[in-house]
Amino acid sequence: MENLKSKKLIGYYGFPRPSVLGPVRERFGYNLELVDLDVALEAPDSRIVQNTTCRIIANIIDNAIEYSKRLVAVVADVGEGKCDRGRYAALILREMGFNVIESRFPPEEFENRPLVYSTGRGSLADRIDSIMETVIRPYDSVVSARNCKPTHGFWGVPPSDFRILDIFPDTTHIYGWTRCVEAGRPGDLQLEYFVDEDVPTVFFTQSFCAKQDMAHYLAEKHDGLFVDCHRRVNDSILSKVEAFIKLA
Amino acid sequence: MIQTEKKLKLADCGSTWTKILDVESDSLEIITTRELVGRDLPPFDIATGHSAKKRCAKFKNELLALAEGALSLVDEEDFSIVDVGGRDIKFIRFKGRKVKKIDWNLACGATTGATIELLTDYYGIDPHLLKPVDTWINVTCGVFGMERVLESVSKGESPEKSVAEFIHGLVRNVFDFTQRPSEIYLSGGFCCNRCFIDSMARYSKVIPLGRTVLIEGLRGETAQLK
């Protein structure tokens, strides 16, 4: 956090194309730290967006404002891999004077990276963190896979509050947008839609996110559990997930 | 932590109502959770519910308590149960007496039971005397539903009919939330609300199990304490 306050930064959100992010880094210097603006960084509430805006989008705006003096650029994913609100956030930030560089990830540039973390064993939070790290540092093929048979599934985006992930067993597979990121295929709707049959899966979205529609539909289809959360998770949400993991 | 008189006490401490069972005498006490908060009670031996965590020696997850309580009260192989509470709605569908589907409606879409109590208190309505109505209002959540009731009353509709429409709207939510079953077991305070039961019967056969299903789900834990 201290680093973020004292050095120049390149902000980004969503999954920018490597062919857009690379030149930005080249232009401003590879020594500049990259900061994922989607993440809850404890920035003050700027009140630019409504209270009923998806927390991830609010994070983007609030973080950008908090670090405005450090950000030399914001690389904004405004394509199908993100959402309309991501596109509007780019417009708002540009209006506010940020140097916004838009990125749209075309299907022709989709990759087929191995699903090391999505199908691996270990702390769910750590594996999701590792997947999101691949947006800026794709791991090479020598990363060892520790595949396991899934006992449970987590479908969705990285939550704004990671505490919900601590409940899941190490044998939880990752699906949805997060898996798309690991595969290098943001916006691949077929991959985002995929879950393994008969694996009890929690379909998670932030509240007020368009992905709620898909999460709810898939939860009904697969007898999974639909969970949405606004801002911080509360005891009720944790209890709900805990019960599903024990009963399903 | 176990009570000194060794009388096992089980409790379901919901957001608005608390049910306390003395196991030895099998006597049930129902108090408002507001009253529970004000009382200086020794901790319960085993408890469930939103307000129970800091008031018991052993806590059991509400949905787990509902599942075990339902299995202890219902002999069927395949059945569904819904617990409609003040703050939330819990749903379990069993197939072959194994959990097939669970859901727990929190925050948005919930807080409807408590809203009915607020509305009936405010308008001075006896909820037991409410008659079911054909029409309904959209109860997206307790707050949105309350706004609709206030609007309806301000336009000249009677508070009784407006609140009954709210209950009908809640029933439709419950019916959809439970995946539109042809028959469903009902748990919770709405087992005592004739307007709710009769409104629900328009959509599904309802079998009320009363207010102590979650407490029944705690009984299995008592053997470990004795």
| B120 pLDDT more than 70 | yes
* Cβ contacts of A226 on chain B, cutoff 8 Å: 103
* Cβ contacts of A236 on chain B, cutoff 8 Å: 50, 88, 104, 106-107
How many Cβ atoms sit within 10 Å of the Cβ of residue B158? 12
Helix H or strand E encompassing A30: none
B161 at interface of A, judged by CB pairs closer than 8 A = no
* Cβ contacts of B106 on chain A, cutoff 8 Å: 236-237, 240
Query: Measured between CB atoms, which of A207, A236, A244 is closest to B50?
Result: A236
Can you tell me the mean pLDDT for B73-102?
A: 94
Give the closest-approach CA distance of A223 to chain B in angstroms: 5
Helix H or strand E encompassing B150: helix B142-154
Q: Is residue B33 part of a domain?
A: yes
Which domains does chain A show, CATH number per domain? 2-107 (3.40.50.11890), 124-247 (no CATH)
| B56 pLDDT more than 70 | yes
* Cβ contacts of B62 on chain A, cutoff 8 Å: 239, 243
B98 at interface of A, judged by CB pairs closer than 8 A = no
B157 at interface of A, judged by CB pairs closer than 8 A = no
Q: Is residue B55 part of a domain?
A: yes
Looking at residue A154, its amino acid is F
A243 at interface of B, judged by CB pairs closer than 8 A = yes
Residue A120 C-beta-side C-alpha neighbours within 13 Å:
20
Query: Measured between CB atoms, which of B61, B107, B179 is closest to A239?
Result: B61
Structure tokens at B84: 């409609």
Q: Is residue B17 part of a domain?
A: yes
| Chain A residue with Cα closest to B101 | A223
Q: Is residue B51 part of a domain?
A: yes
Q: Is residue B156 part of a domain?
A: no
B104 at interface of A, judged by CB pairs closer than 8 A = yes
- Beta carbons of B170 and B189 less than 8 angstroms apart: no
Instruction: Mark yes or no for CB contact A244/B102 under 8 Å.
Output: yes
Can you tell me the mean pLDDT for B137-163?
A: 90
pLDDT band of residue B3 (cuts 50, 70, 90) is very low
pLDDT digits (tens, 9 = 90+) for B159-214: 999 999 999 999 999 999 999 999 999 999 999 999 999 999 999 999 999 999 99
- Beta carbons of A164 and A238 less than 8 angstroms apart: yes
Q: Which residue has the higher pLDDT, A141 or B116?
A: B116
Environment class of B26 (CB within 10 Å of its CB; exposed 0-12, middle 13-18, buried 19+): exposed
Q: Is residue B36 part of a domain?
A: yes
* Cβ contacts of A240 on chain B, cutoff 8 Å: 63, 104, 106
pLDDT at A6: 65
Looking at residue A153, its amino acid is G
pLDDT at B141: 76
What is the number of CB-based contacts under 8 A between chain A and chain B?
44
A 190-209 near B (Cβ less than 8 A): 207
Q: Is residue B112 part of a domain?
A: no
| Chain A residue with Cα closest to B110 | A236
- Beta carbons of B203 and B172 less than 8 angstroms apart: yes
pLDDT digits (tens, 9 = 90+) for A143-182: 665 789 999 999 999 988 889 999 999 999 999 999 999 9
Give the closest-approach CA distance of A178 to chain B in angstroms: 24
Query: Measured between CB atoms, which of B88, B99, B100 is closest to A236?
Result: B88
Instruction: Mark yes or no for CB contact B102/A248 under 8 Å.
Output: yes
A48 at interface of B, judged by CB pairs closer than 8 A = no
CA pair distance B143, B129, nearest whole angstrom: 24
B 105-134 near A (Cβ less than 8 A): 106-108
What is the total count of domains within chain B? Answer: 1
Which CATH number belongs to the domain containing residue B24 in this structure?
A: 3.30.420
Q: Is residue B42 part of a domain?
A: yes
Which three-class secondary structure state does DSSP give residue B197? Answer: helix
pLDDT digits (tens, 9 = 90+) for A78-89: 999 999 999 999
What range defines the domain where residue B54 resides?
A: 9-61+215-225
Give the closest-approach CA distance of B169 to chain A in angstroms: 21
pLDDT digits (tens, 9 = 90+) for B122-144: 999 999 899 999 999 988 777 88
